[in-house]
Chain A
Amino acid sequence: METLQEKSKFKMLREIYITETNCITPLGFDVESNIEAILRGDSGIQLHNDISLMPNSFYASIISDEKINSSFSKISTETKYSRLEKMMILALEPIIKNSKVELNSKTAFILSTTKGNITALAHDSEESFNNAHLDVLAKNVSAFFGFQTQPIVVSNACVSGILAVSVAKRMIQSELYDNVFVVAGDEVSQFVLSGFNAFQAMSELPCKPYSKNRTGVSLGEATAAVLVSAEAKNAKIKVIGDSSINDANHISGPSRTGEGLFRSIQNALKEAQIEANKLDYISAHGTATPYNDEMEAIALNRLDLQNVPVNSLKGFYGHTLGASGLLETVIAIESANRNILFESKGFDEIGVSESINVIEKNEEANIEIFLKTASGFGGCNTAVVFEKVK
């Protein structure tokens, strides 16, 4: 009896939509300017010489401080916010306003990040140390808008941003909330640059996902924000399946068989009740490290998805860590609604052992259903399936 009840519950779950999106990146401070830049083929990745960040010059996708400060001054005169907090507030502000959603007990706030205000650790004071706490970051951003519910922080390495969409979907389906504002953000910092460099995972040139001559990541920074809602009005896309499965293999490298990603995609498709051959597009992770890209190609082939057009947006934005999954979802939603497949920037010659259909130039295509994936340290993977709203 319990089982029957559970089954019927499963079928009665609410439908979940994304109704608002925004992003703050080196390519623009709203979605429209980002899409225009992508269509022009611009990249945020530039050569930087900044010894406060790295002893040597490096390629990264970094937002100008001036632009953050001038944009922020238009919405607030407060000076207490950190650079990342300003970027997060800038991403959330227009969508909260546009949505007209009341910030009451049925509206949640999820903040997702890999390292948050980690730059605060470089300053040796108690106040600064306190700001390095992710709950403090979330409280600061939440208080700016006056959310009534306690902020939820998702910190699950590089899947954080897309996992936050899953968490939002699940919480709305359980009817705890009707609306969830999700923000994701990470900065380029000395902390992260030195770590990826110590792993010898940094590319000497702008990153080249899935390419033969790829040598590693270019780091980037961005914030992105979406409203996940049970309300179909003004929906940009429907969220129809999701899963986050661990590789159970290694903490700092992906499974060679892509097991966790394979299972995540398989489960997400199953929940969405979609056959693999119905996917029109895959927005993949594609960090451009030799192991990650190879693992993804293997997982996609195991699912017979090798012919589905796939891109990595890391060539435009670099690897924005916890922000990447949400930022790339925001861009992929535009891709679907405009019926344009965006080029996988930086790609030249296929460099993974099993073939995949990397998008080489912008092209028109009908996109009804797409998949977003991400993978990260700790063996984590997330897959979410989206369907265009009719």
Chain B
Amino acid sequence: MTQNKPNIQSYIKIENNEIVLNGTSAFKTEPTDFADFAKQAYRNFEMQYPKFFKMDALSKLAFLGSELLLSPITSTEDENNIALVLANKSSSLDTDVKYQESISDKENYFPSPAVFVYTLPNICLGEISIRHQLKSENSFFIFDAFNGEFLSNYSNILLNTNKADLVLCGWTEFFNDNYKAFLCIISAAENENYKNENINTLYHK
């Protein structure tokens, strides 16, 4: 099997208090922390999904990105076989550190199940799957830095072996209020708009 260039259908970037959708700024705030930025973005796009406020920061970041890419293409009536392939460097460490603090002090020992459940990076895949009813392939990977080659290859494998019709893949990194998300939809069919682009060029753009 030869590896084809991934066919990017649409992409989104979230960093520095801004959401850029398909190369165009879609939402921007004054410099603020991620919690506030995420809340403003949620309101701006009228997402109407109260579960959002229970999520940890990594899930909120992945949710915001996937929401704008998936909402236009998912249907509530039909099955959507859209695989989820996400990766980052810091896994769920942002929440892991918070959870560790809740058990480190014997005087103030309070492990919370609601926090513990988010000490897994793949929880954000579950959140996206629930939101868009994606009963589909999903996996979370960790690399020391953005690995566009792996994401492209693995997404193409899922498409070429008919394990998915579309793939939402990307990088969702969050630690200590530093964040960057880059997500894109990949399909078997070519899209004229991104003929000369690949995941790496779009990520670094």
Contact = CB atoms under 8 A, between A and B. Distances in A.
Given A171-B153, A379-B129, A114 B120 contact: yes
Interface stretch (A88-96, A154-162, A330-338, A364-372): A154-162
A272 to B, nearest CB: 13
A53 to B, nearest CB: 11
Contacts of A195: 99, 111, 113, 116, 119
A249 B126 CA distance: 8
A249 B84 CA distance: 15
Interface stretch (B10-18, B27-35, B40-48, B160-168): B160-168
Contacts of A296: none
Interface in A102-133: 114-116, 118, 121-122, 132-133
A176 B153 contact: yes
Interface string A175-201: 110000000000000110011011100
Interface string A235-269: 00000000111111111100000011001000100
Contacts of B123: 157, 251, 377-378
Nearest to A244: B137
Given A134-B142, A135-B89, A251-B117, A6 B188 contact: yes
A250 B116 contact: no
Nearest to B80: A248
Contacts of B99: 191, 195
B1 interface: yes
Contacts of A247: 126, 129, 135
Interface residues of B, number: 55
Given A135-B144, A174-B157, A379-B126, A194 B103 contact: yes
B161 A246 contact: no
A18 B156 CA distance: 24
A243 B135 CA distance: 11
A173 B157 contact: yes
A175 B160 CA distance: 13
Nearest to B54: A251
A155 B121 contact: yes
Contacts of B189: 2
Contacts of A246: 84, 125-126, 129, 134-138
Contacts of B67: none
B104 interface: yes
A38 interface: no
Given A173-B161, A195-B116, A135 B127 contact: no
Nearest to A174: B157
A174 B163 CA distance: 13
Contacts of A1: none
A10 interface: yes
B111 A248 contact: no
Given A139-B144, A150-B147, A133 B93 contact: yes
B126 A171 contact: no
A68 interface: no
Contact of A155 (B1, B142, B150, B156): B142
A122 B147 contact: no
Chain A, interface residues (CB within 8 Å), range? 35 or more
B3 interface: yes
Contacts of A6: 160, 162, 188
A278 interface: no
A245 to B, nearest CB: 6
A205 interface: no
B140 interface: yes
B30 to A, nearest CB: 31
A87 to B, nearest CB: 19
Interface in B87-102: 89-91, 93, 96-97, 99-100
Interface of A: 2, 6, 9-10, 12-13, 55, 114-116, 118, 121-122, 132-136, 138-139, 150, 152-157, 163, 167, 170-171, 173-176, 190-191, 194-195, 197-199, 243-252, 259-260, 263, 267, 376-380
25 contacts: A9-B160, A13-B161, A114-B120, A115-B119, A121-B100, A135-B142, A139-B144, A154-B141, A155-B120, A198-B111, A198-B112, A199-B113, A245-B138, A246-B125, A246-B137, A247-B126, A248-B129, A248-B130, A248-B134, A250-B130, A376-B122, A377-B117, A377-B120, A378-B125, A380-B122
Given A198-B116, A246-B135, A248-B126, 17 more contacts: A116-B91, A150-B143, A154-B141, A156-B125, A173-B157, A174-B160, A176-B153, A195-B111, A244-B137, A245-B135, A245-B137, A246-B84, A250-B130, A251-B130, A376-B122, A378-B122, A379-B129
